[in-house]
A and B are shown apart, each in its own frame.
Chain A
Amino acid sequence: MIQKLLSKNCNTHGQDSSYFLGWQEYEKNPYDPIANPAGIIQMGLAENQLCFDLIESWLENNPAPAGFQEDSALTFRDLALFQDYHGLPAFKKALVNYMGRVRGNRVRFDPNNLVLTAGSTCANEILMFCLADPGEAFLLPTPYYPGFDRDLKWRTGAEIVPVHCSSFDDFRITGAALEEAYHRAHKRGLTVKGVLVTNPCNPLGTAMTRIELDALIEFVVAKGIHLVSDEIYAGTNFAEPGFVSVAEVIADGRADSARDRIHIVCSLSKDLGLPGFRVGGIYSENEAVVSAATKMSSFGLVSSQTQYLLAALLSDEEFTEEYVAENRRRLRGRHDALVRGLRAMGIECLESSAGLFCWVDMRHLLSASTFDGEMELWKKIVYQVGLNISPGSSCHCDEPGWFRLCFANMSEETLNLALRRLQAFVDSGRDSPNGGGVGQRPRRQFVAHWVLRSAPSSKSER
């Protein structure tokens, strides 16, 4: 009886996608090299585990900040009591310097325009609360991170209208696609408040070109709407063409009329590989947004202990320079290994220069060029091959057959094992007629699992 008396928010858990089902399967049977070598390998988690050793050695050499050793500027007392939503000044300063460094020092950020939040999940939601009233919409180019359906819409009541991007254009955002989405939104009676992009892109791993950025800016200027640039993968850019932040476009003076409608989301979860620390931020030149977001950050403040520790870490310029370079090197190595390995079995990836994953083209492995076909292939890969990868449909991709595979959350050996397993699967597919069309049994299995899909996931999935 009492269950009926809960709110709508309580009853819709905002997480109904096959994407999360893969997680569930992985949790039931996780791969471990010793304890469970036949288990499912997690390739659906965009986490950067490649450079923990660098952070560990920094911590060992710099025990003072973690241990609250008092320095002249800050005492333990100040830390324990510190809950000012303006954030620890030393940390914000160090963080904006790091943000600049990761953008090749081509831009400088002002700490007064930065709002700290407990992770970028919190930042994205706060921005939605600040920019959109319930029922208003944001345009999101597809494919996009599945978590946005939950993070941007759940409590805010905002709507998402997809901007259709196609493999024909390498999934680049075009002015035409933006216009089409805008008109579609209007047809639905929705007021469009802005566009939200991830750059570098999740799940594609690509960095936006100057042409794309210009088209985007032109569009938001023409429509007089906001632009949210989620740049949490900024530090994972490892190759040319380099990543161009929307901040650079502003600094170049090419977006003057829209300066106060452009907002950047940042985080330390991807490049520094510290998602557990829960550090994110909103950067904006719009005073009203900064003011409102700062107050809302009360609901997701970063622990003072963490701010203090990371202030010390990020202020060590020698360390951050070394870290950024080494991180890029290792990411590139891992990326290239995955691309090479896949190519050797006839599978191509979208060319990418950033991110913790590849956008893989498995269209030729589908028994039918449909989303059912994609689901069928995905099931086989999860259950038979033992790899949890993310199907493109969960990212709202318009074309079946694309998958996101993560490469930075495992050891080299595990990655090689994953490639071997996939190779075996592809080879067996070549030897026998490919699945013989869609049979009854896979369909029933698919349906049964699909119906049971509303399971909670306890980890983040970016």
Chain B
Amino acid sequence: MRLIVPLQAVAQGRGGLVLGSLIPCALFYFLQFYLRRHRPSSSSSPPPSSSDSNLSELTSMHRSFSRNLLSTRGSAGPSCISSRGAALARGDDNPYYVGLKRCAEDPYDASSNPDGFVQLGLAENRLSLDLIRDWLVSNWKDSLLSEEQELSVRGLATYQPHDGLMELKMAVSEFMGHIMQGSISFNPSQLVLTAGATPAVEILSFCLADAGNAFLVPSPYYPGWDRDIKWRTGIELIPVPCRSTNNFNISIPALERAFNQSKKRGVKVRAVIVSNPNNPVGNLIDQETLIGLLDFVTEKNIHLISDEIFAGSTYGNDQFVSVAEILDVENFDKSRVHIIYGLSKDLSIPGFRIGVIYSHNENVLAASSKLARFSSISAPTQRLLVSMLSDARFISEYLAINRERLQNMQALFVDGLKELGIKCASSSGGLYCWADMSKLIGSYSEKGELQLWDRLLNVAKVNATPGSTCHCIEPGWFRCCFSTLEKSDIPLVMERIRTVIQSN
């Protein structure tokens, strides 16, 4: 509720509160009403509109979008749940989730369950957990101690800032700088911490776009975004296909075409979202493309979201360049660029739930830090991470050893696939490889791809992620995560895949 209080009239005791406030109030509301009725059409490129017309746009779009959301509303009576709820309540037959579930129910273990499902569909890093565990076992106690070296619950138990402790922000920003190999430093006051990168992406989306707006996203992309970005916000994701001929690198002309097509449809594009290192392909965005992206979003007056959650999981010859580095050097408007990060991949601790929004935009930071109340990180976990990240020697060692192990595992896995006649896209980062099984599918179509996925899952008991769930336009590509395996598992995995291929 907003009331205009005319300072002057009231302060001077003239005019009385009633007349002095009624007239401006009435004028204000009439103005809003007028703006609402005479709002220009949203299909033109975003004019410098006032936040008021953004305001008015929301309600009607939100309502109509949610009604379109899903068909199963049953009787639209008050006793049923919302359409958003109904959409989610239904079981998920998306192969991405089906495969994950099947593996979770009967997971492979070399000793205890050698016939179980091998999980190649989950980008989890198990290669260096031993290092983390050893550190935690010897150091956890210190993290619970107060400054006076006493066990104090008060500091942990009481309410904390919603967007994370400053000490953790400082430790995380230093860690991020370290990951980017010291070429850039991150300012802790520009960080908002959330319970994982999943809410980070959702919160950022809520800040940048209204229901019915869209993000352009180069495909193939991480299937989880269909959930994280679309579910509750009502934002549309428009895939912009990348091609194998170009090693699935981002094409600015393709973005341009997609933008124009959206405009024709009357859909307002608010941002481009990319992942770098790319999930699911594993390639890195080179400097030239990053500059091209920045030029593009500047020209279109939209935002750029760069999900760099795998920044510390690089192993190839290419050098990872964060969009933050380009901003530092080139003269772009920083307030339109936002980075998503998290400790789930690089530090192997997805269970602890640490996600990051990094932005130069004050309004986005202000809103995100308040929205973080819905996704705050548990205090004892924050304290623990402060200790761990502050142990510079441990972090350096961990990153070096982890990188080596990733490199080795990737090489072994890719070679193993090569021996089966399966080539992978060139990649330098991530916990997976992007394998071309297009020659092995029956019909060159999504159907053929899913048939192969099904045989891999149910016959070979190997769960790989089919490219169609990542919105890949070319059938037959599969994302295979190798970081959940031991070296000794590789021959077994390859053998299982071989049986399916040969019986093809």
Contact = CB atoms under 8 A, between A and B. Distances in A.
Contact of B374 (A82, A299, A306, A444): A299
A8 B210 contact: yes
Contacts of B2: 16
Contacts of B390: none
Given A5-B270, A157-B58, A277-B380, 12 more contacts: A5-B46, A9-B371, A47-B159, A80-B129, A83-B344, A135-B59, A289-B85, A298-B199, A298-B227, A304-B351, A440-B13, A443-B10
Interface in B122-156: 124, 126, 129, 132-133, 136-137, 140-141, 144, 151-154, 156
A80 B82 CA distance: 34
Contacts of B370: 13-15, 456
A55 B144 CA distance: 13
A81 B160 CA distance: 25
A129 interface: yes
A435 interface: no
B378 interface: yes
Contacts of B140: 66-68
A7 B207 contact: yes
A133 interface: yes
B268 to A, nearest CB: 10
B433 interface: no
A456 B369 CA distance: 9
B363 A303 contact: no
Nearest to A299: B199
Interface string B223-234: 000011001110
Interface string A109-134: 00000000011011001000111111
Nearest to B231: A296
B129 A456 contact: no
Nearest to A290: B89
Given A80-B351, A157-B59, A291 B302 contact: no
B59 A10 contact: no
Interface stretch (A199-207, A228-236, A247-255, A268-276): A268-276
A223 B78 CA distance: 8
Nearest to A76: B133
Interface string A25-65: 00000000000000000000101010010011001100100
Contacts of A291: 88-90
B361 interface: yes
A428 interface: no
Nearest to A191: B78
Contacts of B233: 155
A10 B348 contact: no
A223 to B, nearest CB: 7
B84 A129 contact: yes
B301 interface: yes
Interface stretch (B48-56, B170-178, B395-403, B441-449): B48-56
A286 interface: yes
A224 interface: yes
Contact of A276 (B59, B90, B373, B378): B378
B476 interface: no
A224 B79 contact: yes
15 contacts: A5-B208, A6-B363, A67-B136, A76-B129, A81-B126, A83-B353, A121-B373, A121-B374, A122-B375, A151-B374, A157-B58, A194-B78, A278-B376, A451-B5, A459-B161
B432 interface: no
Nearest to A118: B195
Interface in B88-117: 88-90, 104
Scoring B351, B361, B384 by chain A CB atoms within 10 A of each residue's CB, the highest score goes to B351
Contacts of B156: 276-277
B380 A301 contact: no
A444 B126 CA distance: 63
Contact of B375 (A1, A5, A194, A300): A300
A6 B208 contact: yes
A289 B81 contact: yes
Contact of A131 (B82, B157, B367): B82
B374 A225 contact: no
Nearest to B203: A299
A159 B192 CA distance: 28
Nearest to B150: A56
A161 B400 CA distance: 57
Contacts of A383: none
B129 to A, nearest CB: 5
B85 A129 contact: yes
Contacts of A443: 10
Given A68-B137, A289-B89, A5 B303 contact: yes
A226 interface: yes
Contact of A76 (B136, B364, B379): B136
Contacts of B79: 224-226, 261
Q: How large is the interface on A (under 10, 10 to 19, 20 to 34, 35 or more residues)?
A: 35 or more
B349 interface: yes
Scoring A76, A155, A276, A298 by chain B CB atoms within 10 A of each residue's CB, the highest score goes to A276
A369 interface: no
B495 interface: no
B85 A299 contact: no
Contacts of A456: 366, 369-370
Contact of A49 (B124, B158, B374): B158
Given A59-B151, A277-B379, A305 B351 contact: yes
Contact of B196 (A15, A83, A131): A83
A344 interface: no
A261 to B, nearest CB: 6
The 6 lowest CB-CB distance pairs between A and B, nearest first, are: A304-B351, A276-B379, A130-B85, A292-B88, A288-B89, A303-B378
A136 interface: yes
A74 to B, nearest CB: 11
B384 A275 contact: no
Contact of A56 (B152, B207, B335): B152
A2 interface: yes
A274 B124 CA distance: 30
B439 interface: no
Given A47-B159, A292-B88, A303 B351 contact: yes
A193 interface: yes
Interface string B257-283: 000000000000010000000000000
Contacts of A274: 157
A194 B79 CA distance: 8
A133 B375 contact: no
A299 B202 contact: yes
Contact of B124 (A81, A192, A459): A81
A459 B163 CA distance: 10
Contacts of B228: 298-299
Contacts of A72: none
Contacts of A300: 195, 199, 374-375
Contacts of B369: 456, 458
A425 to B, nearest CB: 26
A286 B81 contact: yes
A278 B378 contact: yes
B157 A277 contact: yes
A134 B376 contact: no
Given A129-B82, A292-B89, A49 B10 contact: no
Contacts of A76: 129, 133, 136-137
Contacts of B208: 5-7, 10
B364 A6 contact: yes
Given A10-B207, A81-B350, A276-B157, A155 B333 contact: no
Scoring A81, A82, A134 by chain B CB atoms within 10 A of each residue's CB, the highest score goes to A134
Interface string A278-318: 11000000111101110110111111111001000000000
Interface in B363-416: 363-364, 366-367, 369-371, 373-381, 384
Nearest to A273: B157
Nearest to A122: B374
Contact of B381 (A69, A306, A450): A306
A225 B137 CA distance: 51
Contacts of A84: 104
